[in-house]
Amino acid sequence: MSAARVPATVAAPVAVPPPAAGPTAARTRPPRGTLRRAVRLLDVDPRRVALAVLLGTLALGSAVALAAASAWLIARASQMPPVLQLSVATVAVRAFGIGRGLMRYLERLVSHDVALRGMATLRTTLYDRLAAGSPQALLAVRRGDLLARVGADVDAVGDVVVRGLLPAAVAAALGVGTSVAMALFWPPAGLALALCLLAAGVLAPWLSARGARTAEERGVAARARMSATSLGVLDDAGPLAVSGRLPHELDALRAADADLARAADAGARPAALAAGIGQLAVGVAVLVALVTGVPAVGAGLLAPVELAVVVLTPLAAFEATSLLPAAAVQVQRSRAAAARILALLDAAAGSDERPAAARAVAPEPGDVPAPPPTGDPSGPTLVARGLACGWPGRPPAVTDVDLRLAPGSRLAVAGPSGEGKTTLLLTLAGLLAPVAGTVTLDGVPLGTADRATVVRSVVVTGEDAHVFGTSVLENLRVARGDVTPEEARSALARTGLGAWLEGLPDGLDTVLGSDARTVSGGERRRLLLARALLSDAPLLLVDEPGEHLDPTTADAVLDALWHAPATRDGTPRGLVVVSHRLTSLATADEVLWVTGGQVAARGTHAHLVDHVPGYGEAVRAEEREQT
């Protein structure tokens, strides 16, 4: 799916360590109706599905008819009749042979079109609902697990149409038709074929489904852990190695792989039994046709040529049922994937479980007043009063924050690492609920404000926002789908990526590796900043824009950010910038110095340098490093 189709609400997703593994992490059986509910979200066209079933039935029907016509032709030719008596059968063999391939090709075109359209619809619906729903649903899921749900799990739900439902419908239609046709030749053979088709088409898939269910129930959590852990190791190998946590993460990855292998082994026995039943059913059908057909030929009840047709046709009839065990396995996989997707959607649409302080509709009289407004008061205004920020179930990371952000105002947040600055940004953006205090947008608490209004007004760019495996231009269009190439070049030049863009082989059309694997950390950070600047949101919350950059480049990027252009409607930008670079904060209207879990000091850059020892020492240390 093109990045341009991603809703603006996910223009700057933030990946941070969650407090829990996320919904459906435990090994539980999906409730009844889970798959039906997910398939409805595919919004498939019933007419296209019916056409795919018809074409699939014609394709396998041509195979059965080809086997029957070939058997009749060979048997009749052995009697050396006049050649003209074989001409119709000869033409039929050619027609059925060509028809089988042609109908199969057409069926694949139609069925895959149905599946791909359904996947696109489901993925779009998923993005829309997650964007409009509770941000807690996203922050409670590890980044790798979230990518798996919007990627592989959506594909698995879409695959149930092509690999699960359509084969079952085609097998049912073909089984009935073939059994009736065989019964017209010789009723005992038709009855035996019907019973054997039931065994191969019902009992074998049931056993396969049972094995797949066991494997999926035991393996879904292991697969999620493996995906999330492996992505975390790939993304943060350096920090994990420095902190000494890399061996622990690798052990967790090995444990998840072992759990997945044990889950696969647990489902192997029923699957092997199902495969044996399918082959046994073919042999029984042929054997019954021979045992009952040979005496019938001797008694004159069945012609010798017809015996060949009755015996050989079942070999082709079981081609349809041979797909059903795999279809049953796919249904189980799709059901497990559907449960994971729906758990995410239900969490996004769930009830508000935030503290009462975060759900207050308006501040009470006597509350701590917000700082005086700066910037343009005519645009949206974000106000924090007595704000305490933290992750659910953990102590607050920072407390007693008061600020007012309006279009045109420029605020900076600085302080040592681990003081909750990123957590503060997430809370100001409405992605985390306040532990205490309030955050309001034009007087309305973020938790009760219309989500679309919040997204149009406030955009947060985190240090780990996702970069899609598509072109540079499409990655920038995540913020706004109608970004022109000229606007994209201007934004990249403003963030210091003009020379980088000129060096790319295809310019804006150059495809970036998945999650920016083909660019450096500094280039990734500036690309995300350019994306934020292209948004129409007048209030920007930017986390560490100078990270991974040399001091000179970092100062240039921050200077460009402080002088960010207005939105397309002329509204000046309001900025909250978290930065470890202090010398470049002189342009800010106000700097909040966060240490000890609270705002220890606030004021202009010059005031903090002169009156706050910790801040002044950090600034002078930076100046010495530059000289």
pLDDT of 382-413, one tens digit each?
999 999 998 877 888 999 899 999 999 999 99
pLDDT band for 516, please (50, 70, 90 cuts).
low
Per-residue pLDDT tens over the stretch 50-86: 999 999 999 999 999 999 899 889 888 888 888 888 8
Quote the CA–CA distance of 400 and 388 in Å, as a whole number.
6
pLDDT band for 465, please (50, 70, 90 cuts).
confident
Of 36-40, 215-219, 230-234, 519-523, the range with the highest mean pLDDT is 36-40
Q: What is the mean pLDDT of residues 258-262?
A: 82
* CATH class for the domain made up of 39-348: mainly alpha
pLDDT score of 359:
37
At 178, list the tokens.
């073939």
pLDDT band for 1, please (50, 70, 90 cuts).
very low
pLDDT score of 355:
39
Q: Where are the domains of the chain?
A: 39-348, 375-463+539-626
Looking at the predicted structure, is the pLDDT value of residue 221 above 60? Answer: yes
pLDDT score of 82:
87
Strand partners, 411: 576, 590
Q: Which of 198-207, 219-228, 329-338, 519-528 has the lowest mean pLDDT?
A: 219-228
pLDDT band for 19, please (50, 70, 90 cuts).
very low
Quote the CA–CA distance of 303 and 67 in Å, as a whole number.
18
Q: Which of 113-122, 352-361, 371-380, 546-555 has the lowest mean pLDDT?
A: 352-361
φ, ψ of residue 22 to 5 degrees: the values are 105, 170
pLDDT score of 266:
72
User: Under CATH, domain 375-463+539-626 is a member of which superfamily?
Assistant: P-loop containing nucleotide triphosphate hydrolases (3.40.50.300)
Distance of CA 431 to the CA centre of its chain: 19
Contacts for 509 with CB less than 8 Å, ≥ 6 apart: 471, 472, 473
Pairing of strands 574-578, 598-603: unpaired
pLDDT score of 362:
36
At 101, list the tokens.
């391939």
Element (H, E) at 335: helix 324-348
Q: Which residue has the higher pLDDT, 617 or 15?
A: 617
Enter the pTM of the model. Answer: 0.64
Count the neighbouring beta carbons within 10 Å of the beta carbon of residue 109: 12
Q: What is the mean pLDDT of residues 617-624?
A: 85
Average of per-residue pLDDT values in the chain: 82
pLDDT score of 515:
63
Q: What is the CA radius of gyration of the chain?
A: 33
What percent of the chain is modeled with pLDDT above 90? 26
Q: Cβ distance 356 to 52 under 8 Å?
A: no
pLDDT score of 116:
92
pLDDT score of 119:
92
- Rounded to a whole number of angstroms, the distance between the first and last alpha carbons of the chain is 48
What percent of the chain is modeled with pLDDT above 70? 87
pLDDT score of 312:
87
Quote the CA–CA distance of 461 and 463 in Å, as a whole number.
7
Looking at the predicted structure, is the pLDDT value of residue 257 above 50? Answer: yes
Q: Which residue has the higher pLDDT, 421 or 269?
A: 421
Q: What is the mean pLDDT of residues 414-430?
A: 87
- What percentage of the chain's residues is helix, strand, coil (to nearest 5)? 65, 10, 30
Looking at the predicted structure, is the pLDDT value of residue 127 above 60? Answer: yes
φ, ψ of residue 432 to 5 degrees: the values are -125, 140
pLDDT score of 336:
83
Contacts for 505 with CB less than 8 Å, ≥ 6 apart: none
Looking at the predicted structure, is the pLDDT value of residue 272 above 50? Answer: yes
